[in-house]
Amino acid sequence: MEVFSMIKNAVIGDGTNPITQHFDIGRHVASAGPEMVWKIYDAVRKSDQKEASVFIFDKKVADKLYKPKRKEAVSEVLRKCVKNLERFQHPQILQVYHPIEECYDSVAFASEPVLASLANLLGNQERMPTPIPPEIRDFAFHEMEIKYGILQITEALSYLHNTETCLHGNVCPSSILISKRGAWKLAGMGFLQVARDGKESFMANPWTNKASKMVQPDLDYIAPEVQVDKRCFYVSDMYSMGITICAIHNGGRSLVNSMYNPAEYTKGIQLLSISFGDAASKLPIQLVEPVEKMINRDIRYRPTARLFSLLKFFSDSVVSCLSFLDSLPQKDAGEVTTFYTKTLVDTIPKIPKKILYQHVFPFIRDELYTESDKLVHVIPPLIAIVQNASREEYRLKLMTEINKLLAMPKNALVTIALLEKLDIILFKTPVEAHKIQVLPILYNTLDSNNSLAREAAMNALGAIKQHLDEDSIKKMVLPRAKAIFNNANNVKVKMNALMCIDRLLDRMDKSVISDNVIPFLTKIEPEDPEIVMAITGIFRHMMTDKRCGLTHALLALQVMPSLLPHTTNALLTMEEFGVLMDLLRDMFDAIDRNRRNKMKLEAMHDDETIRGSAPNIIGMQRHRSAAHIDDIKRSREKDHSRHFLSVDHVSHPKSRTGREQAPSTPELKDRQRFTAASPISQRRVSNHSSVNANKDLSDHKQYSLVPEGPMSPGINLIPDDSSMGFPRRSSTQSLGSPVHHRLSVDANGKPRRHSAGPVVVPGEMNKPHYGSGYFNQMTPNTPRRSQPSLASLSNSVMALFQSKLNY
């Protein structure tokens, strides 16, 4: 027994398949093959960490067959399948990464990464893991995926039929695998037959219950001539393909449901036309007639694989683009360049997002890490994908690869291609990642020795300036632009540096412009007219944009002194000289305008300071007129013991009652002298005296001091209307009638205004006279007040005349 165990262990080892020495096997994800005997696992190749899939057949599955020969037959079919897959190298046939490995209890091989079989995605969950992986459970086909998938399988069959002269023999959903890139791959080569002597017909074994289902094709997809005539042709594969197309659009159900019974299969074939009629409405209209011919029992009506692939249904720009990507290794360099830079860029907006990220982007991602000569051609379609992605899609699917590309070493052409589209990358990248992930390529290129790359970086600054903050411009960009200008010997390079500064003016703070830009420009002593015009253009930009903060002091002290010497430059053309002189004239005008305005403001400020030492009656009146009407009424009712100020109080030592006034104090005498000396007082009194030359001032006619409106500036002495017999104007009287308001004073000599109704002035009946709008609204029949004292009268007159004099 011990010897037997030693021999067994030497032969079969510890029961672990040798493929585990080459691959790290992960989770079980899907199943495929006859009776879904292959279990598909995610895997990674140990040698290069390349993603893969490992197919494992557990021989215990065949234990129920009991007979050893039947068990071995299953393994033989699977071995043949893998060997045939290794034989064919075609983009639509499953690619084998590692040949078949076998141990005592399993058979295994490795292939390109596989998502699942078509049968799994159509609902066949036999030998699937539990629970079903979410990417398979929630999978849904896009119509473009189906269109292109059908074309891929058709092209694989065309390759087998026409190039390899082989018959597949088992085209069905379990023999079609979907790669993780979304490509449909033909597998299940265990029943492949090769044509002999150029014959297009093959011998075939009909399906029987005497053999295991694992070693026979799927009965629901076998062509009728195989089961009935025991012969098959290339177009027999096209029949199976037609039934598969119907199953794809029919929820995974075949038109023939034989339940692995040849008798039921025969019945299903007889009712095939009826079954197709029910399923035809689910097919695309362009496929109904071709598929109907494909499943015709008469092989003469069936189209070949090549003819079927030429249907107008497949004439789609997206399908053509995807097909070119799959056959990329077989294309020459010129075709690849044209495809990447033109065809693919134009087609990307039309490609559904699911196919774009699953099928197209992986091709481009792989090219990013290949030869640098190819990398420059991959940048345009990569940027097109970024541009058509939402910010969320970019963050989840693209940003990692873009950041790797920006950080990796690359030649100047690739750098220039990225800088030309850097604004698109910045727009999609989150703001917090700008300084760390994206902008370093810009700063590093500005420091590089490659003139073309530096020029591309400076040109890119104009497009990305809205993504640069003030600190980045001041500390990272502006010093580099200055250095490029100072170190350059080429006029074009210097021009690019100045244009770069000009583009960034809108994003600079005033202090940065005044402290860094203007001193730099004023120190330049160019002889080339192009440089002079560039500097002139920058200063013109500053003149037209107030945000630049170009004051008249900066113009006079720094800018103009640096520009004036250029007027003697003999290399300037007439037009260039005119541009320079226009700028200088505008600067002179700006200095003149700003200086004059400032001087006027200073003069006005000095006048206001002088006038601020005396009371301002007019200002008080404007302040009162803006007060609420209730406040004015309260002030009007506050003191009824005082009367309106009249000229009599000033010109007579006695009041109207004849009583003697209190003796004048020295202060009162001073005020009277000031009032008598006032030119305004003398003029107003003399003017009024000329009108009333024949009337005695001691007459009973009273006069009021009335603030004039805008039509007659000054202060008029106007006779009271009630004492002269003129009627008062009612509240409804025309606004064109003259309206005057009397001014009274309180005990402290402060002025108080009261409305006494309209006053009709002799000789001014038709002359418009406007009083204060607020006082127009007051009651015209204000009762007379008691006469104020002589001291208060003098104080009021002095204050009134003094304020008007200041005004």
pLDDT at 739: 44
pLDDT at 801: 56
pLDDT at 26: 94
Q: What is the mean pLDDT of residues 671-694?
A: 42
The full length of the chain comes to: 807
User: Rounded to whole angstroms, what are the CA distances from 157 to 114, 144, 373, 530, 564?
Assistant: 20, 20, 35, 67, 82
pLDDT at 411: 87
Question: What is the chain's mean pLDDT, rounded?
Answer: 79
Residue of 743 and 581 predicted with greater confidence = 581
Pick from 147, 149, 124: nearest CA to 136: 124
How far apart are the C-alpha atoms of 482 and 575, rounded to whole Å? 28
pLDDT at 66: 53
How far apart are the C-alpha atoms of 684 and 89, rounded to whole Å? 118
Q: How many helices (H) and strands (E) does the chain have?
A: 40, 16
Kindly report the CATH number assigned to the domain that includes residue 464: 1.25.10.10
Q: State how far Cα 76 lies from the chain centre.
A: 60
Which stretches does DSSP call E strand in 46-179?
Answer: 51-58, 96-102, 106-111, 114-117, 166-167, 176-179
Residue 212 predicted with pLDDT over 80:
yes
CB contact at 8 A, 67 and 83: no
Both structure tokens of 439: 């902008």
Asked which of 261, 292, 314 is the last residue of a domain, the reply is: 314
Q: How many domains does the chain have?
A: 3
Residue type, 537: G
Map residue 186 onto helix, strand or coil: strand
Question: 158 and 242: one domain?
Answer: yes
Kindly report the CATH number assigned to the domain that includes residue 262: 1.10.510.10
Of the listed ranges 470-479, 500-509, 555-564, 664-673, the one predicted with least confidence: 664-673
Question: 568 and 477: one domain?
Answer: no
How far apart are the C-alpha atoms of 492 and 484, rounded to whole Å? 11
Both structure tokens of 143: 């119509």
pLDDT at 16: 86
Q: What is the mean pLDDT of residues 24-44?
A: 95
Q: What is the mean pLDDT of residues 486-512?
A: 90
Q: What is the mean pLDDT of residues 586-612?
A: 84
- For 644, residues 6+ apart whose C-beta sits below 8 A from its C-beta are 702, 704, 720, 742, 743, 744, 754, 756, 784, 785
Pick from 343, 291, 288, 279: nearest CA to 154: 291
Could you give the residue ranges of the DSSP H alpha helices within 370-436?
372-388, 391-393, 399-407, 412-420, 422-428
Of the listed ranges 221-230, 598-607, 751-760, the one predicted with least confidence: 751-760
In the chain, % of residues over pLDDT 70 = 73
Question: 149 and 227: one domain?
Answer: yes
Q: Could you list the residue range(s) of the whole structural domain that residue 487 is in?
A: 401-508
Q: Within 10 A of 313 (CB to CB), how many other CB atoms are there?
A: 17
> 99 in a domain, yes or no?
yes
Question: 305 and 432: one domain?
Answer: no
Question: 531 and 494: one domain?
Answer: no
> 751 in a domain, yes or no?
no
Helix (H) or strand (E) holding 464: helix 451-464
Of the listed ranges 117-121, 622-626, 643-647, the one predicted with least confidence: 643-647
> Model's pTM, two decimal places?
0.68
Asked which of 475, 508, 541 is the last residue of a domain, the reply is: 508
Pick from 199, 43, 16: nearest CA to 112: 43
Map residue 447 onto helix, strand or coil: coil
pLDDT at 409: 86
Tracing tokens 């998502």 back to the chain, one arrives at 115
Residue of 772 and 397 predicted with greater confidence = 397
pLDDT at 783: 46
Residue 309 predicted with pLDDT over 90:
yes
